[in-house]
Structures are given as structure tokens and as C-alpha cells.
Structure 1
Amino acid sequence: MDNSVLNRFYEDNVKMTRDETSQNVNFVTPLVNDILQYVHERDKRFQIQPLNVGSYYSHLKVSRADEFDYSVVLDAGSSFSWSTGTPAYYGFNGNNEVVRTSIPLPSAPVGKCFTDISGTIPKWNSERSNEGPACLTIDNDIIPIKVKRRFKALVSEAVNRPQIRQYVDAKRLSESPAATLTISHPNIAGGTISVDLAPIIKLHIPFKPEFGWPRSGARWPSCTKIQEIKTEGIHEVAKDPFYWSLSFVMCEKKLIDGIDSNGTCRKKSQRIMKKLRESWCPKGTKQIITSYHLKNILFWECENRPSDEEWTNEKLSVRIESMCYLLIQHIQRGNLPLYFHTGVNLLKNKDRDVLDKV
């Protein structure tokens, strides 16, 4: 592998066309603002100004500006901390309504809020409107599936207006935290655009020692960047139906911001890896190894190779090869730790045979 081949591959296959990108951004931005304005007018708890997240806003997108991710802040009006008591149990009853019980229902895993990347169950500020279809709580616990249903309903209303519904389709509620919109319009370059709008509660939860970050003795990121990330803290998203899941999305965004300020090739390496994945992932396995896995590989490679001298453009091929071998090692072990929480294995529950194919 040499730099000339990689640079040619980058120019031909990875870089986005500036005019096409500008055209799509200029179309998507006012549309998203209009939808969120409508949602906010119907329910003030959902803030108008979203958090720009995802690969496009982190400058890690490849080929086309056809996916945009936004986190929509749910204003819970309180401060929160880690819960330490016995978890409440929630599940669906026969009418698909969320209920609280003294024992776990089949749809409510025991101790879910103390495993994987689940966190607290935030309490609602009782002074806020929380009745009828707008009710998001049970016994003042903010329930993720209620938030998702309320948010998705309002987004669907916004999309169903005559000026929008002819070219925007809102997908049905799924396990994803986001409401996904598929946009088709003559002013879009290159086909359709996918937009994810995911409710988030900004809790600024502090890191716990057992998360294993920052690591003692690590020389990357800088002390200034570590403090910036700690100040941002951890937020929560509605991934699980009943218990909020920790979100490191803003920590990751802050970690990536300025990552190449000294003219290094960290983002370029990551974008090449993402494009290569589309080629070497066998058919039907692309969701086994995702761009999020590759983002964490980038973070681990940066920590393993902290010096900017290891990330000069002359070392591009060295870094790509190193990241590939690092990914292979984790796949062989069946364990890829989340960079900000090493207790979380991003390959957990992945099919071993499929991982071997990858």
C-alpha cells in the first residue's frame, strides 16, 4: 500500500463534490428548521435549535452529502445525577401502553439501567405540562418510549403539511432513537437524502471511574481537550424503550473538533477507512461493522499513536494499514471497547460466523 494510490482513491471516491454538498445543505437546513419550529410550537419542551451531530458535521462524511443527523434537546428543566437505588420496572401491557410494575414484565429486562450503556431515569419538573397525549412520564420518571412516540407524532404532523408531504416521508417508529425522514426533491443532488432527528436530554453527567476514561498515562487527547470533554459530560438518548441510554455523541464531536489543526491526516484516514468498508464488507454484513465501529478504531489508534508526527500525510498508508490490523484484532477477539466506556463491547451479540467473514 502506498500514499499515491490512497491519495488517488481519496480524490476519486471519498471527497464530496462541493457544489452538490452546498446544494443539499441549503435544502436540508431550512426544512429541518421548519419542522423543528412546528414541533416546538406544539410542545415547548422540544427545543428549536438542534445539536448538529453525525459524520457530515464532524467532516467525516464520504462521497455524498446524503445523510444528516441532529439531536433535538428535550428540556427537562432539572439537573441529574447517577441513580443508585433499586431500578423501577417498566414494560408494555396488552394495549401496548407503558406500565410500571413491582416485578419485571417480559419486555422489561431485570436491572437494565445498570448494564451496558444505560444510565439514569430522569425525573420530570412537575411544573411543566405533562398530561394526555403530551404525558411523557410515569410517577415523574421520564420514559424514553413516551418521548419517542410524542416526538415522532409531532414530526409526522409537521411532515404531513401540504407544502412538505409531497417530498418527505417519515419512517415508522423503530428501535433507533431517531425519527428518520427520507427526502426526495428535484433540488436535491444525487437522489434522496436521509435525515435523523433524535431527542436527547442534556444532563452533563460526569464520567465514572469504571468507564476507564481518561486513561492514566495516555498522551492523547491533550489535557485541555480532556477538560473540555469532561465539562460537556454525558447525555442520554431514547434507545431502549424503558431506560435511558448514555450518549457520548457530544463528547465524540468535541474530541473530533480540531483533531487535524496541525495539518495531520486523522480525518482523512477515517474517511478512507469508511469508504473501504463499503468494498470489503461482504454483502449483507455492512451493519455488523458500522461507521461507528470505525470511529472508535480511529480514537484508539489516536491514543496508541498520540504524536502528530505519526499522522503526517506522508504516514497516511502506515496509519490506514495500522487501523486495518487493529480492527482485525478486535474482530478476532470479538471485543471492541467503546472508547469513552471500556466496559461496553461494541461487538457484543454480533454473530461470530459473520464477524469471521468480515
Structure 2
Amino acid sequence: MSLLQEENEEDPSFISEFVRWGSFNDMLLEPVKVNEKFIPDTFLKHPSCTKNASLLITDAEENETTFLIRPFVRQHYLTDFSYSQAKLICNFSQQYNWGYLDSEILSEFLHREVCIPRSSTKKVVLNVMPKMLNVLKVVNTQDPRFSSELVISGSYNDKLQVSEPDEFDFLVPLKDFPKIIPPCLPEHLAKSDTVPLVVFPLKAETASPFSWEAEDVSDPLRANEYLVNPIKVMCIFKKYVQTAVQHLELTDNITVCKHYQGTPALTLIVQQGNTKTKVDLVPFVKDPYNYWHLAWPREGSKWPSAEKIEECKMMGVDLVAKNTVFWRYSFSRIENFLLESIDADGGCRKDSLRILKKIQIDHWELQYKKVLASYHLKLTLFWACEKHPNSSSWSDLAMSFRRLVDCLIGHLSKMHLPHYFVDEVNMFRTDNDSKVKLQELCEEVKKLKRNPKYYLSTEA
């Protein structure tokens, strides 16, 4: 096994990490020969290296190899390592400032605090789904442009729910939308995730009061061009939903909430006895463009696979209402597709994300919900997967969780989290108050890194 013997005991997490990495039986070392090499700077810069320390690597036959760590002095007593030995030292170097953490602790937390009984989720779904489908059927009879289909979205569909099932997101497809050419935008818009939605009129013989160039949902732009107005679409959708709720005599069970401009969802509160469930209905334009026009994937990216990328492109980017003029790109269907099989190799990516989401809700949401939402964590996972595309990087729960948290700290420290599919867009708020909050949150996440057991214990 491997041990760290260090005279300075001011930082217990420094010691525990060495013990942690020394516990792998498959890393037992063969007898080694000492050669001259230098100690990586990461050893020397660690704050705990204030006194001399020795790392003892001992193989199954009790043969020891020792190299000294002296602060700010490069020593030349490192060995010629085999592959397994090099892997051990690499892990030690990369993880030197993590507190003690192993997969057993994380797995116990996952099953104790994160997993939701399927029975409770099923009960809520059986209450909500039939009501929503009935409402949309009535909406569709009023205006066939709104589909009666419900596309399940959000954390429930991604299988990432970590709290009681009291929120559901549904996409409502807008029907009979003509395929359009991606617009040529000025530079300041080309680097955003919002676009105008311009349609051309249908042929006269097929035109109807429910076409997308009709006055109730669009504004004239130029000759034979109409701008589909997001505000008009959301207003008319809300009117139809309210009428449907009244028609179905569900006003005692369903409350239609006020719609705020710039919000792509119409929120309903569905009540069953003492249980209230929040439901977001999001009208969306499914794959309106006649080709994939975004600069994704990035050159040299090895995740996701080429096959998955082609399937994503075939699914296409969707649009949801944003404000008076612009629609916003939506990648909900693509994100769900990627998450569906993200751990087909037996990895622990999803479990790591669910654990981090639970910690975020329990410890950070109250103070930092304006700067860090669950969607930020999902994007962080995608970036971490692209940075570490190999299956071996995610085969262990503790290793996976470390990678995800380290990736989050990296983005928080830079106050920059690019959208995974439109990387010119920073998903973090950049006003002064948000910057202060992001800095504070970064320090909080570093506390998780130094002392994960506190956040994973029942008493926390």
C-alpha cells in the first residue's frame, strides 16, 4: 500500500487524500529503482508543504521507495515508475487538495438522500398528465396551431430529479410550421442564443386564419415576410389554456399563473388534495431550420461520438418564446438524448450530477439561486464529458464526482460558463451583484472540495 508521512498536521485533508489513493489494491507496486527526476510543482506549491515530508511507496513485498518533499526546493529523488505507479502519482498530484472521499460514501448519500421512490413520482404523474392532455385537446380544438401533444422535458424526463416530484416541464409543439432558412444576423446577435423568427406566407389556397402569418401571432416585416411575435403567441396560448380549464370545470384544481414577459413557460398549479404541483407548459417550434447551422461540435472534440453528433444534428435545434421580438434556442430534446445513454459504458456521470444537484439545493440554492441553477450544473457535466471523453475517467463514482466539482470550480472562478452548444454565450449573469455572488459561491464549492464528508453526512 501507499502512505504519506508528513510532519505538518495542520491540514488533515492533505493526509487523508494520500491514504485514499493508496487504498487501491490494483496499484500494488513492483520493486522499483531510484533514478534522478524532479518533483512536480504541484507537490511543492501545496500550502501544507511547510515542512519536510516523505512519500513512502511500498509494494506487496514491503519494498519501499521514498522521495522527499521539501517546500520550494526541487529534489531529485523520484523513481522510474511503471504504468500503475505513474497513474498513482498522477492521481496524487491532481487530487492533492481534495478531502477524504470514496465511492462508498457517495453511494450511500445517493441512495439515502437523492433517490426518489418511484411510487411517489408515479402518483404525481398520474394526477398531472391526464389533466394536461385534456387541457391541450381543448386548446387544439380552439386553435390547431397548438398541438395536443405533450413532450415531457426537464429533470423528470432527464431522470435527474433529486427532490420530491412537485415540478414538471412539458413542451407543446407549434404545428404546421414551415421550414425556414437560418437568418443572417448582425454580429451582436450572431453571438447570442436568441433569433428573430421570420416566416413567408403560405400559398393562397392553403392559407387560413390559423396560419403563422396571421395578425394574431405575427407582425408584417417586409413584402411577403412576417415576424412571428413571441409575446402574441404566449398571450393567445394563455387565453386558450384559461378557456380550456373553465370548459373542463377544472378551476378548483388548476390555477393559471400570471405570465411574465421574457418567460418561455406558462405556469399552472395543479392541486390534488393537499398536494400542489407546479407545471410549466412551453410552446416550442420544433426544428424549424432546413439545415444545422450552429458551430457545434467544436473542432477536435471527442465527445459525444461522431454517431451521436449526427443524430443530434438530425433532431435539430428548437425555438421557444423569449421577448417581444426574439425566440431563444432550445436544446431540451438534444440534451435529453445525450443524457439518456451518457452512462451506457457503466460510468457514473449522471449519479455525480444528481449528488451535486442535491448538495446545491440543500446548501447553496437559498443564497445563490439567482446565479446557479440546475441547468448550469447540467451544462457543466457536458463540458466535463468533453474535457474527459474516455470511459475510464468516469468508471468510479468518487473520481466522477471530483471531475464534475473541479469543472464547476473552474467555471465559477472565471465567472464564465459557455453554453455547451452556443459557446459564445456566457450562461452566468455578469452584472456586478452576480459577480460578487459567483465569487462567494466559488469559495463555497471549494469548501465542499476540502471537506466533502460534511456535505454528505446526515448531520450537515
Please say whether Structure 1 and Structure 2 have the same fold, judged by a TM-score greater than 0.5. Answer: yes
Q: Which runs of 5+ in 1 are unaligned?
A: 87-110
Q: Counterpart of 1:321 in 2: which secondary structure?
A: helix
Partner of 2:235: 149
* Cα 1:204/1:242, change in 2 over 3 Å: closer
* Cα 1:145/1:232, change in 2 over 3 Å: same
Partner of 1:167: 253
Q: TM-score, normalised by structure 1?
A: 0.85
8 Å CA contact retained: 1:204, 1:232:
no
CA RMSD, aligned part only?
A: 2.2
Q: Counterpart of 1:46 in 2: which secondary structure?
A: coil
8 Å CA contact retained: 2:170, 2:281:
yes
Q: TM-score, normalised by structure 2?
A: 0.67
Partner of 2:382: 299
Q: What letter is aligned with 2:251?
A: R
Please give the residue correspondences for 1:64-213 in structure 2 after superposition, counting only pairs within 5 Å: 64-84=164-184, 113-123=189-199, 125-126=201-202, 127-130=207-210, 135-139=216-220, 140-161=226-247, 163-174=249-260, 175-186=262-273, 191-205=275-289, 206-208=291-293, 211=295, 213=296
Please give the residue correspondences for 1:1-358 in structure 2 after superposition, counting only pairs within 5 Å: 1-84=101-184, 113-123=189-199, 125-126=201-202, 127-130=207-210, 135-139=216-220, 140-161=226-247, 163-174=249-260, 175-186=262-273, 191-205=275-289, 206-208=291-293, 211=295, 213-281=296-364, 283-312=366-395, 315-350=396-431, 351-358=434-441
8 Å CA contact retained: 2:317, 2:331:
yes
8 Å CA contact retained: 2:381, 2:404:
yes
Q: Which runs of 5+ in 2 are unaligned?
A: 1-100, 221-225, 442-460
Deviations 1:22-51 (A, max 9, x none): 111111111110111111011000011122
Q: Counterpart of 1:169 in 2: which secondary structure?
A: strand
Higher relative contact order (CA 8 A, sep 6+): 1
Deviations 1:38-82 (A, max 9, x none): 110110000111222111011111132222111111124311111
Deviation of residue 283 (structure 1)? 3.0
8 Å CA contact retained: 2:259, 2:266:
yes
Q: What letter is aligned with 2:209?
A: S
Tell me how far apart the structure 2 counterparts of residues 138 and 113 of structure 1 sit (CA, whole Å): 20
Tell me how far apart the structure 2 counterparts of residues 31 and 357 of structure 1 sit (CA, whole Å): 43
Partner of 1:107: none
Q: What letter is aligned with 2:407?
A: L
User: What count of residue pairs does the alignment treat as equivalent?
Assistant: 327
Identity %: 30
Q: Counterpart of 2:424 in 1: which secondary structure?
A: strand
* Cα 1:260/1:282, change in 2 over 3 Å: closer
Deviation of residue 114 (structure 1)? 4.1
Deviation of residue 13 (structure 1)? 1.3
